[in-house]
């Protein structure tokens, strides 16, 4: 894929502009967004993603267009799963509703930063070492197994980094927007030591969680495309509107009871796809003498086309959503419904 410097500059410029717009709007008026506000912004972001995919399709070819849509849908579904952990964190720290927008925006910006770092590292790795696909594939299969067993539902709010901060820093119970520290006062009212605000702990929890999610999401999308530009833009569009989606879906997120199983299947599928690709690109001396592996006995090793992957992604997410909503409606008492 031949991406000019101008395209990269425009893409980065638009990304920064959208983030700055979000920051300016939120900083001016922290609030809990209305359903109408969330719907409008979310529709705009999804429309931009669809339009961008059409542009890639038209100017860079159908193959890259398919790779973008497959990557965007995969990253979007993983981002929705990320929202479950955000909900746990918000609930655990009792973040006031009017400050949740600010916390979410910080979480999204941190996610974008971490994913950008991992995209750069991943791109360098796959260009230099084809065997990294074995590692990516194995890691995704391992992650899929953890998701299927429900091991992703640990107490993400009280992770090791947050526990360290609680033990070693002076903490305050005062909420001051995005302020990370406040000046405590002693019994006489005189200014005392500085203390971390609850928002600081929330941001620490969000940041460490984003780091862990980047470890899952980047290998997943590199299983669908090896183009850094597609990887980056798919992640950017998957994170746009995530804040609005958090407030728009609300309790509906709790009703997507089978989402983790759908994601587990997708990660397993992409992990297998990566291993198959690694065999075709094999350079490991202890595997087939360092030569590519195209057959196992008389059975050919397939190269999975992107169109098939896109179909599997769409079908899996559709079945997962329909099954989840049906189950939650039929058995509301099992998910804490009315």
- pLDDT at position 338 is 45
DSSP state of 59: H
Give the pLDDT band of residue 315 (cuts 50, 70, 90): very high
Q: What is d(CA 267, CA 245) in angstroms, rounded to the nearest whole number? A: 23
Give Cα separations from 6 to 9, 11, 14, 232, 252 (angstroms). 5, 8, 12, 16, 41
Query: Helix, strand or coil for residue 255?
Result: helix
Q: What is d(CA 139, CA 251) in angstroms, rounded to the nearest whole number? A: 31
- Does 81 score more than 60 pLDDT? yes
Give the pLDDT band of residue 154 (cuts 50, 70, 90): very low
Report the pLDDT averaged over residues 152-167.
63
Q: pLDDT digits over 266-277, tens only? A: 989 988 988 888
Q: pLDDT digits over 193-250, tens only? A: 788 888 888 888 888 878 877 877 888 888 888 888 999 899 888 888 777 787 777 6
Token duo for residue 223: 């299983």
Q: For residue 11, what are the contacts with CB-CB under 8 A and spacing of at least 6?
A: 229, 232, 233, 236
- pLDDT at position 335 is 64
Please choose, from the candidates 239, 310, 276, 232, the residue with its C-alpha nearest in 3D space to the C-alpha of residue 62. Answer: 310
Neighbours of 332 (CB within 10 A): 12
**Of the spans 66-75, 92-101, 121-130, 213-222, which averages the highest pLDDT?**
66-75
Parse the chain into domains and list their residue ranges.
5-249
Q: For residue 337, what are the contacts with CB-CB under 8 A and spacing of at least 6?
A: 255, 328
Residue pair 264/145 in contact (Cβ under 8 Å)? The answer is yes
Query: Helix, strand or coil for residue 107?
Result: helix
- pLDDT at position 28 is 60
Report the pLDDT averaged over residues 111-126.
83
- pLDDT at position 223 is 85
* Residue found by looking up tokens 């008492």 in the block: 333
Token duo for residue 318: 């559709």
Neighbours of 58 (CB within 10 A): 10
- Does 72 score more than 90 pLDDT? yes
Give the pLDDT band of residue 174 (cuts 50, 70, 90): confident
């Amino acid at each position: 894929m031949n991406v000019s410097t101008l395209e990269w500059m425009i893409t980065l410029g638009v990304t920064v502009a959208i983030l700055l717009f979000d920051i300016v709007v939120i900083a001016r008026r922290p609030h809990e967004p209305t359903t109408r506000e969330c719907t409008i912004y979310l529709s705009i972001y999804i429309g931009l993603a669809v339009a961008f995919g059409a542009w890639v399709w038209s100017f860079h070819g159908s193959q890259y267009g398919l790779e973008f849509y497959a990557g965007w849908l995969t990253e979007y579904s993983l981002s929705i799963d990320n929202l479950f952990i955000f909900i746990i964190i918000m609930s655990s720290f009792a973040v006031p509703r009017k400050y949740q927008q600010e916390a979410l925006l910080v979480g999204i910006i941190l996610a974008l930063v971490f994913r950008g770092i991992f995209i750069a590292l991943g791109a360098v790795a796959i260009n230099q070492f084809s065997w990294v696909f074995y590692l990516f594939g194995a890691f995704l299969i391992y992650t899929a197994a953890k998701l299927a067993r429900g091991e992703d539902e640990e107490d993400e709010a009280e992770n090791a980094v947050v526990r360290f901060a609680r033990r070693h820093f002076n903490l305050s119970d005062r909420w001051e927007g995005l302020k990370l520290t406040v000046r405590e006062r002693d019994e006489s009212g005189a200014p005392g030591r500085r203390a971390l605000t609850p928002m600081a702990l929330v941001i620490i929890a969000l940041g460490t969680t984003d780091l862990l999610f980047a470890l899952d999401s980047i290998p997943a999308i590199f299983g669908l495309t090896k183009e850094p530009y597609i990887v980056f833009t798919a992640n950017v569009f998957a994170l746009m509107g995530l804040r609005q989606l958090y407030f728009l879906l609300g309790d509906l997120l709790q009703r997507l009871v089978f989402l983790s199983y759908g994601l587990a299947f997708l990660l397993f599928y992409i992990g297998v796809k990566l291993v198959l690709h690694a065999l075709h690109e094999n350079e490991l001396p202890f595997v087939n003498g360092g030569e590519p592996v195209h057959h196992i006995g008389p059975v050919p090793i397939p190269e999975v086309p992107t169109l098939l992957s896109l179909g599997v992604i769409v079908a899996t997410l559709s079945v997962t959503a329909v099954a989840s909503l049906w189950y939650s409606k039929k058995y509301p008492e099992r998910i804490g419904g009315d």
